[in-house]
Amino acid sequence: MKQQITWKTLTGKDVMVNVLGIRQSVIITAFIDGSKIGEGLYRNPKSPSGYAIGKLALNAENLDKINAAIKIVKTAPEYNYMTAREKELEKYEKDYAAIVNTMNI
């Protein structure tokens, strides 16, 4: 599941933020004029909203758009299926490892 948000900076540069749901996580990647500038949303006290992606400081409006995209990705049936399937496989692997350990192999 993927969401894409775009806007222009005050200097007229094109910003694109991809929000991708993969496995049990959400990956956020930012691009300015097609060049990747960062991954992951983190706290930055110098940013107007207090958050940034790489060198991209976010204002409150764009942070709200990103948070809305994250919510859409996390509530998508595909993402929930992938997450549930991944947890099921982790449980299977733990159970299998426990059986192998009891066999002293």
pTM of the prediction?
0.74
Q: In what order do the strands lie in the sheet with 51-53?
A: 42-43, 51-53, 56-57
- Which pLDDT belongs to residue 105? 64
- The domain segmentation of the chain, as residue ranges, is 2-102
pLDDT digits (tens, 9 = 90+) for 35-64: 999 999 888 888 888 899 988 999 999 999
Question: Which residues have a Cβ under 8 Å from the Cβ of 53 and sit 6 or more positions away?
Answer: 17, 28, 29, 30, 37, 38, 39, 40, 41, 42
